[in-house]
Structure 1
């Protein structure tokens, strides 16, 4: 009899209600990770909704609704007094939430401060980026804002998560390790797409790339952070030495038209392919790219760097990118103070010196790493449960 009771209790466990705060559910690193979590989490036990700061439809919206979650717009981010009213209304109307989990970097401070006033018991600030350098050189007003927000996070977050150690410093301060509230939680990826072989020739034809081209790949939003202008400088030099070079740029963003214009000016039109937003990044990495290039000015822990390793692709990165990413000898780093010529040499050397690690071996390494979505999901679920249980006594 007792057994049945026990089983009955499991069925009746209340579901834990979580509200994720994001800019919009588009195909970017953090959002894609959240989608992996949503698809794989036990959705009877965890109800996840998404607070977004846009009224435009985003890439993942439809799938999110299909999976039984809500997309809840909350506008006027630039007008704190209106935003405050909007957010409190959302929390009242759609709540009560057990957990608010905010992914919008500094602005999380304000969100969690408001959630604290409304009485959301578990308030998580999640840092996905290392903005320390940028923050230090910001304008006076911007520094005032970031200082204020970090203060709000210190005062209103019950837990802080970071995608990497450098991302933790950026939001929680230099001594974050001395505070048990703050911890690193690596965001994993779904390794399934890397297990199926792909026909690269079909993809090359579709994108109009010669079969024997040497392809330098880059995946990233067209924003200053990703350093596209420098990528073009490097590509121009490689193209001179090796006219069979093609630069494959995947992504979209505010600077895209400027970069397209720049490609024309530099006479690189035949060499550069703008592929836009793609849902088949793992396939493109596996079957088309020869070297992956990411000379970012700053990063938290780039998901594309995890994907490129899972694809067994050699990577050339800027040295600001944390070495927590490194699971193999596939990765080479160079300082951004080095010339485009030095970068192009490193790319060509990397391509020419074939690595002695096979793709299946590399995939195995990634399966056992914290970057496997299964391991990442287990860590997040355990954390949610632990936090939820700890608040049950108080309520």
Structure 2
């Protein structure tokens, strides 16, 4: 059996984490087993499921600069106690420099850096992340990415193997009965519903999303915006909504385990992000037969249907509103073979990751 140590921030219900779980549930776990090293002291949403499937959870110190001495000591002890890990697969973008540096020092033969974005979040670690990004090739010896643009961003001069952000399709396919049930549950009748799924953070550009929705709502009062996710920008976003008088038209739904069902209740998915890798939510929305409006900062690799449109962030909000309101919510197909045959379907994609692990495992023996 090949055991893979996946390095993540946590295993809550978010895009990257859900993608990993999709692969984990669908691979042959008698041949390949996933374990997870996180950087949060508390349990995450998926921890119990991981353990039930035979995986192990480890909890390293948080990656704050003041913690780095304690972090490297923890990692030194960790690899000394766990010589069974021959493959470390890190998913924390530029910050992967830190665990992969520790893995290299410990003599771990396969050190995979996986790029999931095309830019860096502008938080207090921004300068450090830029430095770590410049050093990532010195500690990794294998490179993966969710898409070509994400690979080019993180790995200068290195070719990255593209691993699709694949999903469990059957959970997301459009279902008219579920749409009716979910809209009733949310207190929706004939409203035109915009939806967004994503962390309430700088990257997702909620400020502009609310400005777009304000313009939509001016043109059509019978509209509602569903916001699914939590994050550090929540209070700021709520204040903007109050200022614009949109309290009754925007629903904050928090973190949800029924996101696949909530897509059914929407009429359009809107994502005006500042940057993305290949957003899992954009893939999920297409499997639910939702029209999707992305910013041009979202790589066009996300699009595998004719339901995607891309607008620049420089475009006026009334143009975004015009495109959104031109959508006919009645045109959705149940069980489309176009989406089922996509390489973003986990049934099609799982062999890509399995073959990749088998190949690098043989190479390093």
**TM-score bracket relative to the smaller structure:** over 0.9
Aligned 8 A contact 2:209 2:272 in 1: yes
Give the CA deviation at 1:267: 0.9
Query: Runs in 1 of length 4+ with deviation above 3 angstroms?
Result: none
Q: Tell whether the 8 Å contact from 1:113 to 1:152 is kept in structure 2 after alignment.
A: no
Tell me the residue number matched to 2:116: 128
- Which of residues 349, 358, 373 is equivalent to 2:333? 358
In 1: Cα distance, 2:356 partner to 2:190 partner: 48
Q: List runs of 5+ in structure 2 lacking aligned partners.
A: none
SS in 1 for 2:7: strand
What aligned pairs does 1:38-77 form with structure 2 within 5 A after superposition? 38-77=24-63
The question of 1:16 aligning with 2:8 is answered: no
Instruction: Name which one, 1 or 2, has greater alpha-carbon Rg.
Output: 1
In the superposition, relative to structure 1, how do residues 195 and 348 fare at CA in structure 2: closer, same or farther (>3 Å)?
closer
Matches within 5 A, 1:230-269: 230-269=208-247
Is 1:106 the equivalent of 2:81? no
Task: Report the counterpart of residue 82 of structure 2 in structure 1.
Answer: 94
Using structure 1 for the length normalisation, give the TM-score. Answer: 0.87
> Larger RCO: Structure 1 or Structure 2 (Cα < 8 Å, ≥ 6 residues apart)?
2
> Quick check: 1:276 aligned with 2:258?
no
Structure 1 residues 226 and 243 mapped into 2: Cα distance closer, same or farther (>3 Å)?
A: same
Q: Deviations over 1:304-336 (max 9, x none)?
A: 111111111111110111111111220111100
3-state SS of paired residue (1:270): coil
Where does residue 166 of structure 1 map in the other structure? 149
Among 177, 188, 196, which residue is 2:166 paired with?
188
User: Aligned in 2, Cα 1:60/1:338: closer, same or farther, shift over 3 Å?
Assistant: same
Q: Deviations over 1:163-219 (max 9, x none)?
A: 11111122102x434xxxx2222221110213473432332232222x101101111
Gaps of 5+ in 1: 1-14
TM-score (norm: length of structure 2)? 0.94
CA contact (8 A) 1:234 1:343 kept: yes
Instruction: Give the total of aligned pairs.
Output: 362
SS at match of 1:360: coil
Q: Does 1:26 align with 2:1?
A: no
